[in-house]
Structure 1
């Protein structure tokens, strides 16, 4: 009989949420429990809400995702172990990802790997784990925790990602499983968990970067899953050109779509530009611990639109490349991962500080 106990690890206590009045984004809140409703009318209405949120804001919350606040809290405890003294600097080196050469974040990304602006490097440490946690070796401190990490991967993939993909497919008036079929848990692919820790920066670096910790960008994959946490730093760029903050909701998940979903949906689901900035004054001396699941389609999926979609037949398809030139998910993911934070960007707008690079013939923009 399996043990009912779990390894004892230090409890991570997050900082209190900010008391400052910020310009919050008004995001839709999707009750994911309704995605299981047997009434197709209920699911159809939920799909309409998700499609509208994805087209307008590009971000939305999901609640009632099937895990309790205590279960998610435990996963933040585990995420913090990755960056604690339990894994020393020498062991981190052993598990550091060869990002530029492999186009993969699997393992550690050390601090000061990405260039931010004016010679300032990032202060973000990450540890990425493939959804199949047994695919690679991990630091000693994580090994007893792998069953729980694997459970998080499966929960996020099947109980969060798949319902969202079904709703997005319904928004395109496609069969519910059209996008799910492209995201097999056992198929070769790069969907992964990521633990992420942002460290405070010096006043000099804040001045040089105008308080930007990660430039405005769109995500690489199809869907990004972010477990909400209280340190305010994430902002999205609205269609009116205004940056708005993402607010913390207890035990909610923040969802956004990425480039690959844009390609597959023929531009119907546009990814939203988002960035990370210095937290408000009452949170500036704290680290910011993040828990993500970055979903990408299976490696062999070619990123071409679903031309059979009745919705796309009515509204039209917007392509970023010709279908014959479309990359596979593996090609697009590796190319963007290799380039991010390491290439020389070309400024195109001093007013908004927009910079560009070209990856696989596609213009990729970054915003300060």
Structure 2
């Protein structure tokens, strides 16, 4: 059991917001509260609401695995990702093959925080991290999944708001399924790999920046259905817009960026929820030299869900279904998909597929499972 004595937490001081004029993605905003129901918010204890009222505190906690744990102790909690297909634990620097430029560490905590052991200094903080995970799951993920019955696009959440990924308008296509269809695939108590990630990018040398073309993380899509990113001030995240250009994501205090992933595209038949292609590059000049600390909640369906299109959707029946797999029975279970993708990410040889756009393909078992964009 975690200790009841909570240690003093050093304050993590992020970089000030950039003053540079960047080409930001134009994300419209809509009101997420209209999609919520009484059960979502009311079930959470007052401690959760208090914890979420101060995201600064969560970022202080997020920095602990990196700044307050020795390299020797980190090694004890490294995730055996390639062997298990799970990120639970540390991903240390230089694990990913990013042209020798991987200066990223992350620490991943399953929503069941007691599923595995953690560094000693984190143990007293596990109750807070657990409450944070539950808040992300029930107060953010669930309303988004309900909202997908009306709108199958994604973007930015600001307190009670969610914006569309489309820069000008919402996509007026719902799946026309019962609103709990997707909720029942993402149960809190199910066997699945939904987890909190703390992620820290460290400044790189000029030599490494030159070798990698200033790319910190190549453009890619996420494995699961929904990824929730808590906004932080260092500008580095970009998305591939519909016109083929890369746009910066603007930091908004206490906001959330919401991504659709591959699993959601599979379930929606590739028609209503295109995955978000995002990458991370060197920050603008006035933010270089700072670390970049991120907090994420990665959402996936229950492990036993088959990632085949929801063919009972009247919308998909009308507009057609784009299948990644020829037959629905060939579609993988969420468990198999996440394990294959997770164990191979950053470890497989990338093949050039589109030299003009700088696109490389990651192939697993002879199937193109992801494209990386430079």
Structure 1 distance, partners of 2:309, 2:149, is: 12
The CA distance in 2 between the partners of 1:279 and 1:144, in whole Å, is: 34
Find the partner of 1:150 among 113, 118, 130.
130
1:121 to partner: Cα distance: 3.6
The structure 1 segments of at least 4 consecutive aligned residues displaced by more than 6 Å after TM superposition are: 65-69
Q: Deviations over 1:203-246 (max 9, x none)?
A: 11111111101111000000000001000000001111100000
Which residue does the alignment assign to 1:185? Answer: 188
Q: Is the 8 A contact 2:101 2:209 kept in 1?
A: no
TM-score normalised to structure 1 length: 0.88
Q: Which runs of 5+ in 2 are unaligned?
A: 39-47, 151-173
CA, structure 1 residues 69+162, in 2 after alignment: closer, same or farther (shift >3 Å)?
Answer: closer
CA contact (8 A) 2:101 2:216 kept: no
Matches within 5 A, 1:1-368: 7-36=7-36, 70-84=53-67, 86-117=68-99, 120-170=100-150, 171-267=174-270, 268-321=272-325, 322-359=327-364, 361-368=367-374
Q: Deviations over 1:134-176 (max 9, x none)?
A: 1111110000100100000000000000110111134211111
Counterparts of 2:345 and 2:313 in 1: how far apart (Å)?
A: 32
Q: Flag the 1:250–1:68 CA change in 2: closer, same or farther, 3 A.
A: farther
Q: Given the superposition, is the C-alpha separation of residues 92 and 363 from structure 1 closer, same or farther in structure 2, using an over 3 Å criterion? A: closer
Structure 1 residues 309 and 238: alpha-carbon distance in aligned structure 2, compared to 1, 3 A threshold:
same
Query: 1:320 Cα shift?
Result: 0.5
Distance in 2 of aligned mates of 1:67 and 1:308: 41
Q: Is the 8 A contact 1:109 1:125 kept in 2?
A: yes
Partner of 1:59: none
* Deviation of 1:69 (Å): 6.5
CA deviation vs aligned residue, 1:39-96 (integer Å, no higher than 9, x gap) = xxxxxxxxxxxxxxxxxxxxxxxxxx96777421111010011111x21111111100
Q: Counterparts of 1:259 and 1:37 in 2: how far apart (Å)? A: 27
Distance 2:149 2:66 in 1: 38
SS at match of 1:116: coil
Contact 2:101–2:204 (CA under 8 A) maintained in structure 1: no
Aligned twin of 2:45: none
Q: Matches of 2:5 and 2:25 in 1, distance apart? A: 40
Note the alpha carbon deviations across 1:175-208, whole angstroms, 9 max, x for none.
Answer: 1100000011111100100000000111111111
Tell me: CA distance 1:68–1:251, structure 2 relative to 1, closer, same or farther (3 Å).
Answer: farther
Q: TM-score, normalised by structure 2?
A: 0.87
RMSD: 1.9
Q: Which runs of 5+ in 1 are unaligned?
A: 39-64
